[in-house]
Structure 1
Amino acid sequence: MDGSAPASPIPAGHPPVKPPKIGVLLANLGTPDGYDYWSMRRYLNEFLSDKRVIDYPSWKWQPLLQTIILTKRPFSSGANYKLIWNEELNESPLLTITKAQTAAIAAALSERHGAAVMVDFCMRYGNPSTASKVRAMVEAGCTKIVFFPLYPHYAGATSGTANDQFFRALMEEKRQPAARTVPEYFEHPLYIEALAGSVERAYAALDHRPDVLVASYHGMPKRYLTDGDPYHCQCQKTSRLLRERLGWEKGTIDTTFQSVFGPEEWLKPYTVEHVAGLAKQGKKRIAVMAPAFSADCIETLEEIQGEIQEAFLHAGGEVFTYIPCLNDDPAHVTALVAVIEENLAGWIGR
């Protein structure tokens, strides 16, 4: 006898009580349901109405968004998505890759913790929604949830808004689970190791070594940096740590920023201008990678391999190599699992 009181029997008519679990909820940016006009309009409306993304006053921004931008942009964005769409599964590559990442992480955590941990994913914009997945985890018996925005670097427009949506979902729950949000992991040794491995494999497969490696990060208005967003500094540090891990000299990795939107100044140098400048300087062979993206998406599969590659070749460049995102590469999964395990500390035994 251990002296503990026996568990009280559940009275008749009491709702069923499920064994408690810990949820691990991965979150990525989002995806439209299709590349048709209305699917794109719904997705873009949700995305571009987010004050974390576009922080202009609603009275100024919404009339422009609703009457001009959402009238035209769904056509151009839909055409770009059509170029990369996974027609076999009728979904965007980001969704396909996120599913694969989730399955690999779930398998690794199941091997370590059995049924005590439930792994799933959600999207900040589009489907599956954050609220629907929080609800599913609560219904499955999760009394604790680790929420993991899949962004190596913190930005209000990425990790911040993903966390906002998670907290909104928790507000709808009668019985709120205990919650943890995973911080950025831009300098985690296993993340840097996974990046370095992807570069080494890509370079080993080439006949000629690129003159420069361009690390292209998603951009943001420069004003956000001066307002206190740490994103720019974290991107610079990732590039430095990657260069040091590779054992390369200074000047061999350039840090740039892509996906500029709107009239104000964004973080510089702009990738599309920088690669053209490299070609004009006689750098005829370059490689480009996107360390801020955990999965290949429209910004990498269409923008980098479309607009940015074209700018380089048009300016006189000869060989453009794109190094894919880490996606569900085993080294990446190992890094993500390690980050999750660190954030499970105290909640579950190793």
Structure 2
Amino acid sequence: MLSPPPIGVILAQIGTPEAPNAKAVRPYLLRFLSDRRIVDYPPLFWQPLLRGIILRVRPRRSALLYSQIWHQDGSPLLIHSLAQCAALQRILGRCYQVELGLAYSTPSMEQAIAKLEAAGVTRMIIIPLFPQYSSTTTASVYDAASFAALGRRSASGPVTKRFVPALRFVEAYYNEPGYISAMKMHLQQHITRLSSVPDYFVLTFHGIPRRYADTGDPYPLQCLETARLLAEAMDWKPGCWQATFQSRFGREEWIGPSTSDVLKELASRGVCRPLIFSPGLVTDCLETLHELAIEGRELFEEGGGQADNLIAVPCLNENEAWIKFLAQLVERHGQGWR
């Protein structure tokens, strides 16, 4: 008897440029910022602004930042994401086939699904690597996976395939005990290696426009609940930690408090050795390696602190407890399929 095909698992991320230069950054930003999940302004207003002004300036600026965090083997996000896939595959074994699918770059969601289908996979579990739901991340991944499975670029696109695999989407896991426990262990491991104990903790999340939250995106509330649960698990007392939001873009009001504003204020509040960590990003990328670890230290120093005293803890990346939690998510969502 032939053994059944494996169950497909796709770890889903937003994406990354292929190289730290403006030529590679420009098409990535065009695709990313053209998605109305990300920027929901009417195309007749937004596209001329994006193509005529933003993409003339921003790629060079972003490329410079990428060049400061780029690894010899490529993009940090891509390297860590592939390592997460490999680690998860080792735990799950041959009953599953794990692939990486990126919404705005390669390996794309289309490539991931095509690879699984070539292996005979007809059932797939999609895991957005975003613990908190947001229309700008989780929903973008849902879109990318759904259209890729259908063989269409959009709802009005041509039909290019007849058989559509069954998809199961993993919902937000912002309050899952296994996720909170993995972060607790991760932070404790890093804190025990320090020569001095931090005297303040900043839990930073990627921000979204305030308007998105006001019109139904549950992201801010889920972020605050994650922060509360993690602080409780770490036994941090009130007044020694706070949640903030980073990466503001454009002139529109975003949710706060702003991570950059808080970092500049810490020294004036008597904080000497702050620790900063991002519970909403599970894979190191530009937002953690540069915005937090490099710019964060500059902001703390600008406010009167000593730059080297700010501890930026890396993301979970290939943390063993985190990968085991992902395996548990897969097993749970694969029930009835094996």
1:322 paired with 2:322, answer no
Aligned to 1:296: 284
Aligned to 1:75: 60
Aligned to 1:121: 100
1:100 paired with 2:83, answer yes
1:208 paired with 2:196, answer yes
Unaligned 5+ segments in structure 1 are: 1-6, 8-16
**Equivalent residue of 2:136, what SS?**
helix
1:269 paired with 2:254, answer no
Letter paired with 1:47 = F
8 Å contact from structure 1 (residues 288, 323) kept in 2: yes
**Equivalent residue of 2:275, what SS?**
strand
TM-score by length of 1: 0.91
1:109 paired with 2:92, answer yes
Residue of 116, 123, 128 corresponding to 1:144: 123
**Equivalent residue of 2:127, what SS?**
strand
TM-score by length of 2: 0.94
Q: Tell me how large the CA RMSD over aligned residues is.
A: 1.4
Aligned to 1:239: 227
Aligned to 1:55: 40
Aligned to 1:308: 296
- Deviation of 1:208 (Å): 2.1
Aligned to 1:284: 272
Residue of 147, 157, 173 corresponding to 1:168: 147
Residue of 46, 64, 87 corresponding to 2:49: 64
Letter paired with 1:167 = S
Percent identity, aligned pairs only? 38
**Equivalent residue of 1:131, what SS?**
helix
**Equivalent residue of 2:13, what SS?**
strand
8 Å contact from structure 1 (residues 97, 327) kept in 2: yes
Query: What number of residue pairs does the alignment pair up?
Result: 327
Unaligned 5+ segments in structure 2 are: 152-160
Map Cα deviations across residues 59-111 of structure 1 (whole Å, 9 max, x no partner). Answer: 11100100111011111111111111112x2x20000000110000000000x
Question: Which stretch shows the higher mean deviation, 170-179 or 156-165?
Answer: 170-179
Name the CA distance, whole Å, in 2 between partners of 1:60 and 1:284.
46
Map Cα deviations across residues 269-320 of structure 1 (whole Å, 9 max, x no partner). Answer: 0000011111111212100001100100000001111222211111111210
- Deviation of 1:19 (Å): 4.6
Name the CA distance, whole Å, in 1 between partners of 2:233 and 2:19.
40
Letter paired with 1:151 = F
Name the CA distance, whole Å, in 1 between partners of 2:102 and 2:259.
27
Runs of 4+ in 1 over 4 A off after TM superposition: none
Name the CA distance, whole Å, in 2 between partners of 1:104 and 1:314.
40
Letter paired with 1:56 = Y
Name the CA distance, whole Å, in 2 between partners of 1:248 and 1:259.
26
**Equivalent residue of 2:189, what SS?**
helix
Name the CA distance, whole Å, in 2 between partners of 1:179 and 1:335.
20
Aligned to 1:249: 237
**Equivalent residue of 1:294, what SS?**
coil
8 Å contact from structure 1 (residues 26, 149) kept in 2: yes
Aligned to 1:331: 321
**Equivalent residue of 1:239, what SS?**
helix
- Deviation of 1:147 (Å): 0.8
Name the CA distance, whole Å, in 2 between partners of 1:82 and 1:180.
37
**Equivalent residue of 1:269, what SS?**
coil
Name the CA distance, whole Å, in 1 between partners of 2:257 and 2:287.
17
Aligned to 1:193: 181
Question: Which stretch shows the higher mean deviation, 62-71 or 338-347?
Answer: 338-347
**Equivalent residue of 1:214, what SS?**
strand
- Deviation of 1:18 (Å): 9.2
